[in-house]
Structure 1
Amino acid sequence: MKKEYDYLIIGSGLFGAIFAHEMTKQGKKCLVIERRNHIAGNVYTEKVEGINVHKYGAHIFHTSNKVVWDYVNSFVEFNRYTNSPIANYKGELYNLPFNMNTFYQLWGVKTPQEAFEKIEEQRAEYKHITEPKNLEEQALVLGGKDIYEKLIKGYTEKQWGRPATEIPAFIIRRLPFRFTFDNNYFNDTYQGIPIGGYTALVEKMLEGIEIKLNVDYFSDKENLDSLANNVVYTGKIDEYFDYQFGHLDYRSLRFENEILDQPNYQGNAVVNYTESQIPFTRIIEHKHFEFGTQPKTIITRENPQDMTEGQEAYYPINDEKNQIVYEKYKQLADQLSNVIFGGRLAEYKYYDMHQVVARALEVVESQN
């Protein structure tokens, strides 16, 4: 019996929106359902005081993949924003990523050779650690005491919610040192923010496609599944299988937003707070993503926390324990021929936005 839709797409974030757009172009009929009251998933931006506020944390698009860059720019124009975060450690300011500006701020060194020698001198104190057992040891071996204590330790412990001595060493495989005066955080060829915000980007992708908001897939799963020949699922994979192998672990975020009656609060879009005594990891000032000149400004403090019932899942915790559980769920997923699992939550994988775009296009290609 012919069903009403070719694809039921659960979730209107980047993966779901791209899939829906591409399949609609091919003449397929898609229905997108979204449990929130808005489209665009975690990249959603909301206009407040004339400023596009990144409601679920800062999103900066960067890629070296020209196909991906041209693809997103085919919907909306991107600006020239370059991510150059600042680290604040007990009132001292440092440029990120670690570059000649950082080394000058730390030690007063002015040449690449002086910086290199200082780093080697700091690393030498830990040469007795041949096999780092945790993140603290790994960071000390790679960068020495000053960089670790001022710029890594507090921030990372807040991010993961545990001491650095209890975080696996593999989280920091290497520390990229730049011996140039270059504050551009990313090495990618292309970088920017959609002019008008990410919601405008996803709106374009979903133009002409049927969308239903405030729909909880699991409260009416059987009925919703019956509407379409295929399902594209972008939610948590453990939830899809009713947690039969247990819950996967995620880190969540709590956002504190504040509208300030001043034009400029911190002079930069992203300032990281790297000391452990301050509970939040960073303050985002949204207007700087789009070079705003509005009379007011909006800031967001980001507080990482363990995910509990009712909170959003942001970062999969891809340690050994969780990977074992995920593989069990993936085996079940692979047996379902008419369900596609895509995106950060469904694949239990940390994806940047450009990787989600590439993955969605790859899955679309596999449908032909």
Structure 2
Amino acid sequence: MYDYLIVGAGLFGSIFAYEAKQRGKKCLVIDKRNHIGGNVYTKEVEGIQVHEYGAHIFHTNNKRIWDYVNQFAEFNRYTNSPIANYKGEIYNLPFNMNTFHKLWGVTSPEEAKRKIEEQRKTANISQPSNLEEQAISLVGTDIYQKLIKGYTEKQWGRPANELPAFIIKRLPVRFTYDNNYFNDRFQGIPVGGYTQIFEKLLDGIDVKLKTDFFKEREELETLANKIVFTGMIDQFYDYQFGVLNYRSLKFETNVLDDTDNFQGNAVVNYTDSETTYTRIIEHKHFEFGKQEKTVITKEYPMEWEQGLEPYYPINDDENNTVYKKYKDLADQEAKVIFGGRLANYKYYDMHQVIGEALVTVEKEFGK
């Protein structure tokens, strides 16, 4: 008999299992995939740590969370500085003086501010009613047309003028020559990949992979006193209030034998509407690799349907109303703990999942 059955070997489930074991509890961790680590999983290919489910760059302002993950791996000094490719034109992200100089030839912050303000005034949008109007009212038409519109429409699978304005509440605009995408104090990639972190978290804990909770639910629920569930909350309740919607992704990964450096950067976003993928990841650059070959992944957004991997919750009013009904049921559960991105129907960065897991552990066991 286990104290906890933990459904999902991603960040939330693995951290809960680790902390429970530290307190003398017996856990069984299951996952329907054939590996631990959830979407953070990395696999070595040609001596390169490949981020199997898209780029994962760790960043946080919280020293407690930074110190926590550094127990399990050494982090390098990687700084996320993606670039945008618009029909062969290269721009720095986030929007900064390098971007503005390339767009307009301006060299001073004052010139850049004036240019953006001119375009905002010309657009004359007082109450943005959709994403397109919201973006133009924030950064003007040039940045919107070249660096936001195509990428966003691919990402969400809908015209920007049909997307709600709240998706882009604000856009980071810097009037400095700073290409660091994140403002957080701590940032890096674990040397040797993320999977080692999960191996250490789950060391000495029973783990069953290729195990689908819903196919073996009746038996699995008898094995433990409590359940920690990190899957889709609507599936847990047999979709009784309806299906929650997501955007999904498809990854196309290739080893390139004939080059050691494909694009000179870990992440390049393709912001035109004609290119069908949103970005190319070149994995070796996360660890400043010098290998003879390179590995790239093209990332294609796609409509989610049951059976596909859910990545981004669509937190519009309709879906949030449905989620609230499931949340009300979850709050009444005495023997089930819900945690993570899918169970909370909320997009999380890695540090936010870790923070949520540690708060849940404190609630369950005390500080």
- Provide TM-score, normalisation by structure 2: 0.98
User: How far does residue 71 in structure 1 lie from its aligned partner after superposition?
Assistant: 0.1
Q: 1:309 aligns with which of 301, 306, 309?
A: 306
State the identity %: 68
In structure 2, give the amino acid aligned to 1:5.
Y
Q: Deviations over 1:61-110 (max 9, x none)?
A: 00000000000001111111000000000100000000010000110100
What amino acid does structure 2 have at the position aligned with 1:111?
A: S
Q: Distance in 1 between matches of 2:24 and 2:101?
A: 58
- Cα RMSD, aligned residues only: 0.6
Tell me the distance in 2 between the aligned counterparts of 1:309 and 1:75: 35
How many residue pairs match? The answer is: 364
Aligned-pair distance for 1:244? 0.8
Deviation at 1:309, TM superposition (A): 2.6
Counterpart of 2:184? 188
Q: Which amino acid aligns with 1:80?
A: R
Normalised to the residue count of structure 1, the TM-score between the two structures is 0.98
Q: Provide structure 2 residue ranges, at least 5 long, that are not aligned to the other structure.
A: none
Q: Please state if 1:48 is matched with 2:50.
A: no
1:281 correspondence with 2:278? yes
Structure-2 residue corresponding to 1:237: 233
1:335 CA drift (Å)? 1.2
Distance 1:118 1:103 in 2: 9
Mapping 1:283-302, distance limit 5 Å: 283-302=280-299
Cα distance in 2 between the residues matched to 1:165 and 1:114: 29
Runs of 4+ that moved beyond 6 A: none
- 1:176 paired with 2:176, answer no
Say whether residues 1:334 and 2:336 are aligned partners: no
Q: Which amino acid aligns with 1:314?
A: Y
Cα deviation for residue 130 of structure 1 reads 1.4
The gaps in structure 1 that reach 5 residues or longer are none
Counterpart of 1:96 in structure 2 is 93
Whole-angstrom distance in 1 between the partners of 2:115 and 2:197: 46
Q: Distance in 1 between matches of 2:364 and 2:306?
A: 35
Cα offset, 1:124, TM superposition: 1.0
What residue in structure 2 maps to residue 22 of structure 1?
A: 19
- Match of residue 215, structure 1, among 183, 189, 211: 211
CA distance in 1, matches of 2:155, 2:20: 38
- Residue number in structure 2 paired with 1:133: 129
The CA deviation at 1:201 is 1.0
Alignment partner of 1:253 is 2:249:
yes
In 2: Cα distance, 1:220 partner to 1:35 partner: 11
Once residues 25 and 252 of structure 1 are traced to their aligned partners in structure 2, the CA distance between those partners, rounded to angstroms, is: 36
SS of corresponding position for 2:33: coil
SS in 2 for 1:125: helix
Q: How much has 1:180 moved relative to structure 2?
A: 0.6
What SS does the aligned partner of 1:67 have? helix
Cα distance in 2 for residues equivalent to 1:58 and 1:174: 23
Secondary structure of 2:252's partner?
strand
SS in 2 for 1:217: coil
Deviation at 1:133, TM superposition (A): 0.7
